Amino acid sequence: MLTRFNARAAKMMLAVTTIVTATLGGSSAAWAVEDSTSSASPIKNVIILIPDGMANDATALARWYKGSSLTLDSMASGLVRTHSADAPIADSAPAGTAFATGYKSHTGYVGVLPDKATMPGQKAIAPGDAKKPIASILEASRLAGKATGIISTSEIMHATPADFSAHYPDRKNYDALSKQQVYNGMDVVLGGGSRYLEPAGRKDGENLVSSIKALGYDYVTTPEAMKASNSNKLWGMFAPAGMSYNMDRDPAKQPSLAEMTSKAIDVLSKDEDGFFLMVEGSKVDWAAHANDPIGIISDVLAFDDAVKTAMDFAKSNQETVVVAVTDHGNGGLTIGNNLTTGTYDEEPLSTFIGPLKKAKLTGEGVEAKLNAQRTNIKAVMKQYYGISDLTSEEVKAIKEAKPGTLNYVVGPMISKRAGIGWTSGGHTGGDVVLYTYAPNNDRPFGVIDNTDVAKYMARVLNLDLDSVSKQLFVPAKQAFAAKGATYKLDLTDAKNPKILVTKGSTKLELQIYKNIALVNGNKTMLDGVIVYNGVDAFVPQMAVDLIQ
C-alpha cells in the first residue's frame, strides 16, 4: 500500500518563499511554497473541481451578472495548456484523461493512452502501448487507503467523470464505462445518468442498479434522501441523463452542485486516511456549445458555489488541496460582439447585463414552457426572457426547433441583444485559468500543461501513478502465458464477457469490467477492474498471482 508523506516535514526557521521547479513529462512546472516557522499538517485530501468548457470570459460575465467577486477569483495561480496528443483543440475525453492520469490522449479516449501523438513535443507511442489503460489519481488514492468519489451534473459515465473512474478508447461506450465505475470501489457517486444503469438503457441489458445496491451502497434519488443518508457508501442518481441547469432546477427533485459537494465531503472526510474527490460542473460546456449565455451564467455561478463549499472545508481542515480548472474553452464567448465594434468603449454595463438579467430560465428550461403546438412562443419569450421584439424569423426558428435543441436557438437570440459574441459552437484551443488552494501555499503557478495537474495532485498526496498503472493493468494474455496457463477471451455473452484461464486443476474466470475473479468457482475481489479495450485485456497483478 502506498503511504502519505508530509511535504513540509522539515520545520523552517525563517519565513521565506521558495520556488520549486520540476520537469514533468517533458515540460517544466513550478510551485510556490510559502514556508513558515511552524510545521504544516500533511496533505491528506485533494478536491478537484472542473467547470467543463468554461472560457475565460464566462467567469467575467458571471461576475458582472452576480455583481460581486467569485470564490474562484482569489484562487487564480496560473494558466493551463489544453491540447491533446494529436490536436491543438481538445475533446473532453482526452482533456479529462490528462487531468486524471498525467498522460495526454486521443479524441474520444477515456483513461487510456493514445494511438498516435503528433502534437509538437509529444513522444511517440511505444509499441504495444496504444489504447493501454493507465491509472487515475482516483484509483491511486483508493489503493492508498483513501476514500474516493465523483460528482457530475451530466451522466456520471460522461467523458470527464469517466476519465477518473474507467477506461475505454470510446467515450460513447457507456456500458463498459458505467460497469467499471460500479465495480471500481468508489465511496461516493452523485449526479445524473440513471437510465444507463438500468436494463432498458443498456445494450447488455444488465441491471446495474441492483448491482450497486448489492455492493452495499445507499442508492438515493432525491435531495432529501441524499441529505438523510448516514451510509459510508453513497450512490445518488437525480436524473435519467444530465441534470437540469441550476437556474431550471427543481430543488425538491435535484440537489445543487454545492449540495452534492457538501454531502460528498461529509461522507469522504470520515476516512482517517484522507480522500480524493472530483466534482464536475458539466453543463457549462453544454451551454457553450449552444451559445447560450444564460446557461453559462447559471452553471458557472452554481460551480462557484461548489468551489466555496470545498474551500470552506479546506480552510477549516488545513489538510486539503483544492484545484479548480476547466478542461478546455468552448464557444469563443466574448463580452462584446460585431454590433459593438464602433461603440465598445462607450457601452454601459447595462448593455451587456441588462438583457441577461431579464431571463428567468435557460433555453433548455424555456422549452418546457411552450405548449405542444408552440402557439405561445411570444408570450413565453416575453415572460421568461424579457424579449418582446421577436422577429418573424425568430418565431419560426423557435417553432421549428427540434425537441432538446431550443437552447441552440434562443441562446444566440439573447446573445445578440446583450452584445455577447461567439466564434464557435465547439471547443477552443486557448490556455485556461488554473485556480488552486493549498494550506502551505504549495501550488502551481505560471503556464503549465494539463498533464501537470495530475502530477501535482499525485505529488502532494505522495502517489506514484506509473507504479499503480503497472499494478492494475497487466497485459493479460502475455502474463498468463508466462505462467504456463491457457488463456481465452470469451465475449460471447454481452452481460458477462470474461477471461478464462486454466492451469492444471486451477480454473480462473475474470469478469471483464468488474473486479471479480472466480477461482474454481470461489469468488475473490480484486484491487481493480479488468479492462478490455476492444483489442486486448488488462488485469490487476493480483489476478495474475491467482495462478501459481
Q: Domains in the chain, please, with CATH? A: 17-333+425-471 (3.40.720.10), 334-421 (1.10.60.40), 474-544 (3.30.457.10)
Asked if residue 280 belongs to a known ligand binding site, the reply is yes
- Burial group, residue 228, by CB count within 10 angstroms (0-12, 13-18, 19+): exposed
Residues tagged active-site: 92
Asked if residue 106 belongs to a known ligand binding site, the reply is no
pLDDT at 494 (0 to 100): 84
3-class DSSP assignment, residue 276: strand
Asked if residue 18 belongs to a known ligand binding site, the reply is no
CA distance 363 to 413: 10
Q: How confident is the model at residue 110 (pLDDT cuts 50, 70, 90)?
A: very high
pLDDT at 9 (0 to 100): 33
pLDDT at 8 (0 to 100): 32
Among 316, 73, 283, 107, CA closest to 191: 283
pLDDT at 334 (0 to 100): 98
Residue 20: pLDDT over 50: no
CA distance 501 to 498: 10
pLDDT at 29 (0 to 100): 53
pLDDT at 51 (0 to 100): 98
Q: How confident is the model at residue 40 (pLDDT cuts 50, 70, 90)?
A: low
In this prediction, residues 62-80 reach a mean pLDDT of 98
Asked if residue 289 belongs to a known ligand binding site, the reply is yes
Return all residues near 373 (Cβ < 8 A) that are at least 6 apart. none
pLDDT at 7 (0 to 100): 33
Q: How far apart are the first and last CA of the chain?
A: 22
The more confident residue out of 183 and 29 is 183
β partners of residue 498: 490, 511
In this prediction, residues 175-192 reach a mean pLDDT of 98
pLDDT at 25 (0 to 100): 38
Beta strands, E only, 290-389 = 320-325, 329-330, 334-335
CA distance 501 to 491: 14
Asked if residue 346 belongs to a known ligand binding site, the reply is no
Asked if residue 73 belongs to a known ligand binding site, the reply is no
Return all residues near 27 (Cβ < 8 A) that are at least 6 apart. 121, 448, 449, 451, 452
In this structure, what are the phi and psi dihedrals at residue 283, rounded to the nearest 5 degrees? -90, 0
pLDDT digits (tens, 9 = 90+) for 249-278: 999 999 999 999 999 999 999 999 999 999
pLDDT at 41 (0 to 100): 63
Among 347, 325, 328, 363, CA closest to 420: 347
Return all residues near 289 (Cβ < 8 A) that are at least 6 apart. 53, 330, 331, 408, 425, 426
pLDDT digits (tens, 9 = 90+) for 292-310: 999 999 999 999 999 999 9
In this structure, what are the phi and psi dihedrals at residue 317, rounded to the nearest 5 degrees? -75, -40
Q: What is the 3-state secondary structure (H, E, C) of 419-438?
A: CEECCCCCEECCCEEEEEEC
β-bridge pairing 329-330 and 218-220? unpaired
Among 431, 460, 435, 458, CA closest to 447: 431
In this prediction, residues 316-326 reach a mean pLDDT of 98
pLDDT digits (tens, 9 = 90+) for 430-439: 999 999 999 9
Q: How confident is the model at residue 17 (pLDDT cuts 50, 70, 90)?
A: very low
Q: How confident is the model at residue 27 (pLDDT cuts 50, 70, 90)?
A: very low
Cα distances from 509 to residues 496, 516, 521, 539, in angstroms, run 11, 8, 8, 12
pLDDT digits (tens, 9 = 90+) for 403-412: 999 999 999 9
pLDDT at 26 (0 to 100): 39
pLDDT at 495 (0 to 100): 86
In this prediction, residues 225-234 reach a mean pLDDT of 98
The more confident residue out of 515 and 21 is 515
Residue 33: pLDDT over 70: no
Percent of the chain at pLDDT above 70?
A: 93
pLDDT at 503 (0 to 100): 97
Residue 11: pLDDT over 80: no
CA distance 182 to 92: 21
- What pTM was computed for the model? 0.93
pLDDT digits (tens, 9 = 90+) for 193-206: 999 999 999 999 99
pLDDT at 290 (0 to 100): 98
